Amino acid sequence: MPDEEEQVVIKVRDSGPYKVTGPIRLTDADGVEIPLPDDGRAVVLCRCGRSRTTPFCDRSHACRPADTAVVHAGLPAPEQGAPFLPGPVFAAPFHFEGDGGDGDDAPFYGRYANPTWAGWESALGELEGGEAVAFASGMAAASAVLLPLLEPGDVLVAPSDGYYTLRTLAERQLVPRGVEVRYVPTRADAVRGALEGATLVWLESPSNPLLDVLDIAAVAAEAHDAGALVAVDNTLATPLRQRPLELGADFAMASAAKQLTGHSDLVLGYVAAAEPERAEALRTWRTTTGSIPGPFEVWLAHRSLATLGVRVERQERNAAAVAQLVADREDVPWSRWPGLGCVVSFDLADADRARRFLSAAKLVAEATSFGGVHTSAERRARWGGDDVSPGLIRLSVGVEDRQDLLADIARALDVAGA
């Protein structure tokens, strides 16, 4: 029995593959022993609440604070003369003798496995509190959840105001095969109203580009009661600010091209699953469709992950200041920052004014995407995929000096005029 300090938390779930092993006793507050279910329905949560597989807090991985985890997660144990992060492994076939079989899990071909993926996936799994599978892009990751899961007659509930390529995917790949897609805005009551008969509920909170948020835990519980699975696009918050699996989601998916890696130099994605069987199904999908990440991008991503904590801290402080600046200006009719993340959206009412702002700002690179260390922005309506005002600016705040950035944005707003 662990001592008071090392007490583990045990939750019983309706389903799940986890078994309680080891000398664990479950007691109520008075110390009266409660028998553990012996049918495998028990999940052992680490005291930190994040690890579902490690019954005791050994301070080695899941129990460390996330700011420490981003620096160390997925790295091998220190070895004399070895680098902290081993270099990328480039291989199509690996040397592999014999017929394989039980216990021989050495990589044999680069579409199935790559040692560089393993460290990155272990880091993502630790951060999201599940089992992570890396993909070639965020859309490859989203496809790996949606396409194998949804069959004719199934119902997908998806955001009408989230990342628009998800809707394109649904329209081009799901609707033609007989999946019903119900689009709802990112509001709990709207999702709730669409749950009847749903197979999968896809959430994006904060949503991109209008930064709406909803109570993921409440919506996930209701979706599960209605018999649906729940996936959350966690791109904007990153697992440093939000862990959807802990909030009850079955999948946490993200584009790793954004703040997670932060240097605007790679495209990757991932899905973390709460249940190992679902992670296994995602790996099978990746292997058979070939939507695999390149080892060099994965290595770059893992290298960049170490600074996620400091980048998030700096970018959020800068974003809060930019949000205050635009909120205080009478010539900015609408603005929003959800209190986390690096994206501030604001409306300059018409397209010309937005264009004047973008060309006047010297520290704000005109570019799509978000989350990088360089401040960037775009007039979101230029792509035509979102139902937004022609003057909507989605601004991603970087790590530049705050006063410098504020002065540049204020000056560009002055130049843009009313």
Ligand X SMILES: Cc1ncc(COP(=O)(O)O)c(C=O)c1O
Short-list 344, 418, 329, CA closest to 375: 344
Q: From the CB of residue 22, how many other CB atoms can be counted at a distance below 10 Å?
A: 9
Residue of 47, 258, 379, 394 with catalytic role: 258
One residue of 199, 235, 238, 259 binding ligand X per CB under 6 A = 235
Contact positions with ligand X (CB under 6 A) in 358-387: 369
- Closest distance between ligand X and the C-beta of residue 233, in Å? 5
Residue of 13, 111, 177, 362 with catalytic role: 111
Told to check if 135 binds ligand X by CB under 6 A, we report no
The stretch among 78-86, 229-237, 325-333, 334-342 that binds ligand X (CB under 6 A) is 229-237
Q: β-pairing, 251-255 with 269-273?
A: antiparallel
Told to check if 51 binds ligand X by CB under 6 A, we report no
**Structure token pair of residue 158:** 């998806």
Q: What are the CA-CA distances from residue 81 to residues 51, 84, 87, 410 (Å)?
A: 31, 9, 14, 51
- Name the residue with the smallest CB distance to ligand X: 138
Residue 258 annotated among the catalytic residues of the structure: yes
- Closest distance between ligand X and the C-beta of residue 285, in Å? 16
Residue 233 annotated among the catalytic residues of the structure: yes
Contact positions with ligand X (CB under 6 A) in 156-175: 163
Told to check if 138 binds ligand X by CB under 6 A, we report yes
The stretch among 232-240, 309-317, 324-332, 395-403 that binds ligand X (CB under 6 A) is 232-240
Query: What are the DSSP calls for 226-289, one per residue?
Result: TT-EEEEE-TTTHHHH--TTTTT-SEEEEETTSTTT-SS----EEEEESSHHHHHHHHHHHHHH
Q: Which helix (H) or strand (E) holds 42?
A: strand 42-45
Told to check if 233 binds ligand X by CB under 6 A, we report yes
Residue of 47, 64, 154, 163 with catalytic role: 163
Cβ atoms of residues 175 and 147 within 8 Å: no
Told to check if 242 binds ligand X by CB under 6 A, we report no
One residue of 119, 125, 248, 269 binding ligand X per CB under 6 A = 269
Residue closer to ligand X, measured from CB, 122 or 208: 208
Told to check if 208 binds ligand X by CB under 6 A, we report yes
Residues in Cβ contact with 111 at an 8 Å cutoff, skipping those fewer than 6 apart: 287, 290, 292
Q: Which residue type is seen at 403?
A: Q
Q: Is the dihedral of CA 363, 139, 70, 305 positive or negative?
A: negative
The stretch among 132-140, 280-288, 320-328, 351-359 that binds ligand X (CB under 6 A) is 132-140
- Closest distance between ligand X and the C-beta of residue 295, in Å? 17
The stretch among 7-15, 230-238, 279-287, 350-358 that binds ligand X (CB under 6 A) is 230-238
The stretch among 133-141, 274-282, 329-337, 381-389 that binds ligand X (CB under 6 A) is 133-141
Q: Which helix (H) or strand (E) holds 378?
A: strand 376-379
Short-list 349, 353, 352, 409, CA closest to 376: 409
- Closest distance between ligand X and the C-beta of residue 390, in Å? 20
Told to check if 255 binds ligand X by CB under 6 A, we report yes
One residue of 124, 134, 139, 308 binding ligand X per CB under 6 A = 139
Short-list 289, 254, 224, 267, CA closest to 125: 254
Residues near ligand X (CB under 6 A), total: 14
Residue 161 annotated among the catalytic residues of the structure: no
3-state secondary structure (DSSP) of residue 107: coil
Q: CA-CA distance, 232 to 214, in Å (whole number)?
A: 11
- Closest distance between ligand X and the C-beta of residue 18, in Å? 29
Residue of 154, 161, 233, 347 with catalytic role: 233
Provide the 8-state DSSP code for 210: T
Told to check if 146 binds ligand X by CB under 6 A, we report no
State the residue for tokens 């680069």: 110
Radius of gyration of the chain (CA): 23
One residue of 179, 237, 257, 260 binding ligand X per CB under 6 A = 257
The residues annotated with a catalytic role in the active site are 111, 163, 233, 258
Contact footprint for ligand X (CB under 6 A) = 137-139, 163, 204, 208, 233, 235-236, 255, 257, 267, 269, 369
